[in-house]
Amino acid sequence: MNKYLSTAIALFASVSLTYGQANISPAKPQSQKTVVMGAIIHTGDGKVIDNGYLIFDKGKIIGIGDATVVKLALTDAKIITANGKHIYPGFISPITNLGLLEIESVKATKDDSELGENNAHIRALIAYNTDSKVPATLRSNGILMAQITPAGGTISGSSSVVQLDAWNWEDAAIKKDDAMHMTWPVAPRGRGFGGGGGGRFGAAAGPAVDPNERINAVIAELNKFFTEAKLYTETTPTVTNTRLAAMKGLFNGSQKLFITADGQKEIVGAVNFAKKFGITPVIVGGDDAYLLTDFLKSNNVTVIVKQPHALPNNADDDVNMPYKNVAVLSKAGVNVVISIDGFWQQRNLPFMAGTASAWGMSKEDALKTITLNAAVALGVDKTVGSLAIGKDATFIISAGDALDMVTNKVEQAFIQGRDINLDNLHKQLDKKFSDKYGIK
């Protein structure tokens, strides 16, 4: 009975989520040259212009600089006065199931993972739901792009980078199939191990097996699969194997390899494994990465750190280590990016960067972890991640510090020059009940 009641409640929540918010249509293409004047511009690459101007046309930035030393001809442009306000590049959310998962307790709305251990052929992009009500709540905090990422199994499949204001996944895509995702095997804690249970890369049911033997068996299977995939992509096969074919991007350089690994042993093992196949991996998680800074830097490995608001990985760790991890890696010269779990929670991503800035980083370096550093890790830095001439006009205007949850107040957002509607379900509910109780 409880099972049916839970399902009914979840379905009701789904209906409420679907119809509780008025439809917000994607913004139309930019139709007029626009100039933003007088703002404090955070370019995303560490520079700050205290009194700047930003000019964009046809979705691209065509001018940026110090407004106090340049006289602009503005007769043919729309003017946005932003004196004392802040401009930031659009924030980028990596490693998220945004748009793949709506109601967690209802199987029919869960598209973030597949059964089995080897899902190299899975593409998260084609399951991305642009009609989800969640992305609108992220845009209101400055998050304008995301890496839609599959989960489950040892090899989870391919992610893609999207912008968060689109009619469909084809329109949303900034970079399709940017990375293949896998999880490095670890010793079991309680039930389960590595990426999951049985299957090709998992442990079969039966008598207890030594954990090290299980790990070695999974690694051996990974070696075998990667070797087969490399050979497959270097030849012209007569029979198509979708799993092997999906690995082609890793070996021709068009796709990156993201490996989830937290402990020292796992991080070193994952990096060395990838190097054996001529691949420079991106480490996801990296709880113990601060202990391996020299190793990571010498191998040019990017680390995507879990949210700083977390408990330490080990019982003997400094209780504040999750806050410090990002700064330690950054100061060591490692390209570091901040991520956050879940999909609703993604709206708090800028505040994770704000926390990092309070524990050993400058505010501009912390900003880079969710802008330029993220763009580099995802392979989209030529068009987004920082504010520069020729790049997409994807940015936000905030009345206060966007990395501070007290002062973050995004007043306008632009994606490829399009003026984005910042209404969302949360704002509508706030207004509804504020009006009811006379709250101003």
pLDDT for the residue numbered 10 = 46
| DSSP 8-state code for residue 309 | S
pLDDT for the residue numbered 192 = 37
Closest of 112, 202, 142 to residue 394, by C-alpha: 142
Alpha-carbon distance of 290 to 268, in angstroms, equals: 13
pLDDT for the residue numbered 196 = 43
Q: pLDDT tens digit string along 331-373?
A: 999 999 999 988 888 999 999 999 999 999 999 999 999 999 9
Alpha-carbon distance of 194 to 118, in angstroms, equals: 12
Closest of 24, 21, 63 to residue 41, by C-alpha: 63
Answer left, alpha or beta for residue 424, where phi above 0 means left and psi between -120 and 50 means alpha.
beta
Instruction: 70-73: list long-range contacts, CB under 8 Å, 24+ apart.
Output: 72/35
pTM for this predicted structure: 0.89
pLDDT for the residue numbered 339 = 96
pLDDT for the residue numbered 211 = 81
Confidence tier at 9 by pLDDT (50, 70, 90): very low
- When pLDDT is averaged across residues 268-285 and rounded to a whole number, the result is 96
Helix or strand or coil: residue 73? coil
Q: Are residues 421 and 129 in contact, defined by beta-carbon separation less than 8 angstroms?
A: no
Question: Is residue 379 over pLDDT 80?
Answer: yes
Question: Is residue 21 over pLDDT 70?
Answer: no
Alpha-carbon distance of 51 to 33, in angstroms, equals: 20
Give the contacts of 406 (CB within 8 A, at least 6 positions apart). 400
Closest of 337, 376, 373, 370 to residue 91, by C-alpha: 370
Alpha-carbon distance of 67 to 331, in angstroms, equals: 32
For 370-382, b/e burial (b = at least 16 CB within 10 A) is bbbbbbbbbebbe
Closest of 242, 275, 280, 288 to residue 258, by C-alpha: 280
In single-letter form, the type of residue at position 49 comes to I
pLDDT for the residue numbered 306 = 87
Q: Give me the residue label for tokens 């912390």.
A: 366
Q: pLDDT tens digit string along 244-269?
A: 999 999 999 999 999 999 999 999 99
pLDDT for the residue numbered 82 = 95
Confidence tier at 212 by pLDDT (50, 70, 90): confident
Q: Are residues 215 and 185 in contact, defined by beta-carbon separation less than 8 angstroms?
A: yes
